[in-house]
Chains A and B, each alone.
Chain A
Amino acid sequence: SAVISQKPSRDICQRGTSLTIQCQVDSQVTMMFWYRQQPGQSLTLIATANQGSEATYESGFVIDKFPISRPNLTFSTLTVSNMSPEDSSIYLCSVGYGNTEAFFGQGTRLTVV
């Protein structure tokens, strides 16, 4: 299993600013994933964060808007840049161990005003 510490748990931000979300895992993992969950909807994969290489983004998500860092095998950050109210959502990081259970951080509830 994995324990993931994600922070902040929530934030209220002004439009045009940026927020960086951090995820710390209690063990080394090759891949970490960042999801967005908009109100009343399921999780949408933003990108896969690989240690030592650039993140791989899903269709509709770009690096300029959601830059990701993965400096080592236990840590990753996701930045939501130049925020607008449409970015209000829950952001979750996740890790897994090859075709088995995925573990999630507690989520960051972002409100952009």
Chain B
Amino acid sequence: RKEVEQDPGPFNVPEGATVAFNCTYSNSASQSFFWYRQDCRKEPKLLMSVYSSGNEDGRFTAQLNRASQYISLLIRDSKLSDSATYLCVVEYNNNDMRFGAGTRLTVKP
């Protein structure tokens, strides 16, 4: 089993749609959780951290379920600029990060 597994995608959605990405992780000792965004031919950049209580940043909502070892990202009112690959990232300790394979999102006009 992979350490971090994500929806394979790709997701092709129209502008304004709501899209959800799911991610599961295998190591119950994982300490921190993140969603990163990677644009084509660019390095990954932090989109948001994921907290047990759930957290929201504008159109983006992240959820963590430690019991199920499950992480989600919800994007509301999709914009063309949201088109990217979204990486689920799980950290064990000391920045030892494990990346999911990424889910590619394309938002179309």
Assess whether B43 is interfacial by the CB under 8 Å rule: yes
Whether the pair B97, A92 counts as a contact (CB closer than 8 A) is: no
Whether the pair B96, A101 counts as a contact (CB closer than 8 A) is: no
Whether the pair A99, B46 counts as a contact (CB closer than 8 A) is: no
A73-103 interface with B by 8 A CB criterion: 92, 94-102
Closest chain B residue to A43, Cβ basis: B99
Whether the pair B95, A43 counts as a contact (CB closer than 8 A) is: no
Cα A41 to Cα B101 with chains together (Å): 6
Q: How far is the CB of B34 from chain A (nearest CB, A)?
A: 7
Assess whether A33 is interfacial by the CB under 8 Å rule: yes
Cα A109 to Cα B42 with chains together (Å): 10
With A31-B94, A31-B95, A97-B95 as contacts: A42 and B43 at CB distance below 8 Å: no
Closest chain A residue to B2, Cβ basis: A42
Whether the pair B100, A101 counts as a contact (CB closer than 8 A) is: no
Q: For A41, A44, A98, A105, which residue has the most chain B Cβ atoms within 10 angstroms?
A: A98
Cα A45 to Cα B43 with chains together (Å): 14
* B45 cross-chain contacts in A, Cβ below 8 A: 104
Whether the pair A102, B101 counts as a contact (CB closer than 8 A) is: no
* B100 cross-chain contacts in A, Cβ below 8 A: 42
Whether the pair A42, B102 counts as a contact (CB closer than 8 A) is: yes
With A42-B87, A104-B43, A105-B43 as contacts: A99 and B99 at CB distance below 8 Å: no
Whether the pair B46, A45 counts as a contact (CB closer than 8 A) is: no
Cα A55 to Cα B62 with chains together (Å): 34
Assess whether B76 is interfacial by the CB under 8 Å rule: no
**B interface vs A, CB < 8 Å?**
31-32, 34, 41-46, 49, 87, 89, 91, 93-102
- Given A97-B95, A98-B94, A100-B32, 5 additional A-B pairs, CB 8 A: A33-B95, A41-B102, A42-B101, A92-B43, A96-B97
Q: Could you name 20 residue pairs across A and B whose Cβ atoms are closer than 8 Å?
A: A31-B94, A31-B95, A41-B102, A42-B102, A48-B96, A92-B43, A94-B95, A99-B91, A99-B93, A100-B32, A100-B49, A102-B46, A102-B89, A102-B95, A102-B97, A104-B44, A104-B45, A105-B43, A107-B42, A109-B41
